Chain A
Amino acid sequence: MTAKPGHNSFDPTDSRKRCMKYRKRILDISQNVSALHAAGAFSCMELTDTCYHGLMRPDGQDTFLMSKGHGCMAQYVILEDRGVLEKKHLDEYCTPHGILGAHPDYGNPGIEASTGSLGHGMAMAVGMAVAERNKAGGAADAGAVYCVLSDGEVQEGSTWEAFMMASTLGLTNLVALIDNNDFQSLGRTSETHPSFYPLDEKLEAFGWETVIVNGHDADAVYSAVASRKGGKPFCLIGRTTKGKGVSYMENVPIWHYRSPSPDEYKQALAELKEIAS
């Protein structure tokens, strides 16, 4: 009962155009507030776009869960583009009269779970996938759950509890996408915690099917998920760059949270281009 992706006609060219537009929109919003998690959103932009525009079926039966809650700008701009959120919701981001904050809040349009504290999303995704399977009576077309995780939150023990349960429960309608930008607050993970890797082998030992692809290559992401063998929960480890698309943000930890100044904003806009891979 491996869930099939929704759009047989997923076009990576369109995805590249969209992701450039989304990055620009995030930069625009950044000028209204002192801080937003632009770098983390840029890092998972293609992963999130591929879920919404490629993998999830269009009739709403599949679920997207942004476990790395600080990446929610990537989700907000897509939800705006799809008409789920309104322009004013994003224009009022992090203001007292708005509804959107720096982490997803359950109850807001298009937001399926509240996240922000790391290590919570995977277990909720497991519970959702069980519920979808039971509602469908175990049928092959049960609602699928797509969960984007940061690599940092894969350090949480709770995430491994949930990984163990996903395979134990045989959740073939569950897809995890790890935004593996190899950066966390205190530096490059491969240097600060080398034994964190290899990630794919650890997950396979926990009963998952895995693949490692370039997480900024929407075509590769889509194809890897669509062509998975199935029979197990599936994890795509996307190699990504934190701050992808803006040179001074890439792999510089301060951009985890900071908003660009007006000059930096102009430079970022000038630099933005479609990311081929």
Chain B
Amino acid sequence: MRNTFAEVLYDLAKDDPRIHIVVADISPAGSMGKFREEFPERFINVGVAEQAMIGICAGLALKGMRPFAYTIATFSLYRPFEMVRDDLGYQNLPVTVVGIGGGVIYSTLGGTHYAQEDIAIAGAIPNMSIIAPCDPVEATEATKWLVNREGGGPVYFRFGKAGEPTLTGPDSDPWEFGKLRYLRKGEDVAVLSYGVVTKMAAEVADALTADGNSVSLAVCHTLKPLDTEGIANLLRRHKRVIVVEEHAPQGGLAPQTKQIAWDIRAECDLHTFTLKDEFVHCYGSHEDILAAHGLSTERILATVRT
């Protein structure tokens, strides 16, 4: 996903001198290296100085540029939080804060590298939008939108890392900022997710389809502004809705979906699966850490099949 992002940004930067990338000592692998070589005056490495990364992006944007701050999610959002809030949110500047490895993707690096509450934190800032693509195709669509949009404020762009499978296809609804999209449409059950963990949601949808259900799979790539109407319609159209989310139980998609369900007096069954409100002290694959938080295809199926 991050390589796709760098490739798209490199291509757009050839014709758009507003694009600047400000990184905090993260290796410029793949196309990021090409950007650095070809546009050195627009590639800034602040070193391990994330507050400067955000402040410099703000200054660039105040002078009409389209900067992208780029590092691991915990360091792009948490470390310089007040700069994100004041410099970007308060001034409402078109800066994209890229958080690589949102959720618990850095599964061997421990709690210091888990951005497991990032949606709640970014979402609490006025003017801040949040996009979390589920696969490299969505990352491409979102990156193009981020560069070409008219005006607009800051965006927290929650990313995976590398090697994510492509989940969207020609039958998926088109990508549109702020709109939930169906990757497939069914009648009985809807599985709703976003970001890298959508792969697990797709496995749940596959298994429930094999059980004989007619299953929708929808992704909510824009977490803020949330597509309240799209979620309300999804809740109305299905008998059972399952939300799968790689995020703390507070402030993410799951509690907001419950809120919408209450507001519209939804009649469907609603199951939500999120990370725990805990730091888990466990190391392994991404799947291992998700499982330690209670997120696995097997557990979800065991719960929703009863």
Contacts and interface: CB of A to CB of B under 8 A. Distances in A.
On whether the two chains bind one another, the answer is yes
B11 to A, nearest CB: 19
Given A114-B90, A117-B86, A162-B55, A127 B63 contact: yes
Interface string B32-75: 00000000011010110101101111111111110100000000
A127 B46 CA distance: 11
Interface of B: 17, 20, 41-42, 44, 46-47, 49, 51-52, 54-65, 67, 80, 82-83, 86-87, 90-91
Nearest to B83: A120
Contact of A123 (B42, B59, B63): B59
A175 to B, nearest CB: 14
Contacts of B41: 133-134, 138
A123 B83 CA distance: 10
A128 B58 CA distance: 8
Nearest to A169: B44
Nearest to B54: A123
A126 B59 contact: yes
Contacts of A112: 62
A214 interface: no
Contacts of B64: 131, 135
Interface in A156-171: 157-158, 161-162, 164-165, 169
Chain B facing A: main interface SS: helix
A132 interface: yes
A161 B25 CA distance: 13
DSSP majority for the A interface? helix
Contact of A161 (B44, B51, B61): B51
B44 A124 contact: no
Contact of A124 (B49, B62, B80, B82): B62
23 contacts: A106-B62, A106-B90, A106-B91, A113-B91, A117-B82, A123-B55, A123-B56, A123-B59, A124-B62, A127-B56, A127-B59, A127-B60, A127-B62, A127-B67, A129-B59, A130-B59, A131-B65, A133-B41, A134-B17, A134-B41, A134-B65, A157-B51, A162-B55
Contact of B59 (A125, A138, A158): A125
A134 B41 CA distance: 7
Contacts of A138: 41
A128 B59 contact: yes
A124 B58 contact: yes
B105 to A, nearest CB: 27
A36 interface: no
Interface of A: 63, 106, 112-114, 116-117, 119-120, 122-135, 138, 157-158, 161-162, 164-165, 169
Nearest to B22: A127
B176 to A, nearest CB: 29
A164 B59 contact: no
Nearest to A115: B86
Contacts of A164: 47, 49, 52
A183 B269 CA distance: 62
Contacts of A157: 51
B55 A128 contact: no
A132 to B, nearest CB: 6
B17 A161 contact: no
Nearest to B46: A165
Given A114-B90, A161-B51, A162-B55, 14 more contacts: A113-B59, A113-B91, A117-B86, A123-B52, A124-B59, A130-B20, A130-B44, A131-B64, A132-B63, A135-B64, A158-B80, A158-B83, A164-B47, A165-B46
B93 to A, nearest CB: 9
Contacts of A131: 20, 59-60, 62-65
A165 B52 contact: yes
B51 A114 contact: no
Contacts of B56: 123-124, 126-127, 130, 162, 165
A119 B80 CA distance: 12
Given A114-B86, A123-B83, A158 B58 contact: no
A43 to B, nearest CB: 23
A158 to B, nearest CB: 4
Given A123-B51, A123-B56, A161 B46 contact: yes
A162 B86 CA distance: 16
Interface centre among A119, A128, A132 (most CB of B within 10 A): A128
A63 B83 CA distance: 20
Nearest to A137: B41
A69 B261 CA distance: 45
A128 B64 CA distance: 9
B59 to A, nearest CB: 2
Nearest to A121: B55
Contact of B87 (A63, A120, A134): A120
Candidate in A112, A120, A162 with the most chain B CB atoms within 10 angstroms? A120
A127 B86 contact: no
What 4 A-B pairs are tightest by C-beta distance, nearest first?
A127-B59, A123-B55, A131-B63, A161-B52
Contacts of A122: 55
Given A161-B46, A165-B52, A127 B91 contact: no
A135 B41 CA distance: 11
A126 B52 contact: yes
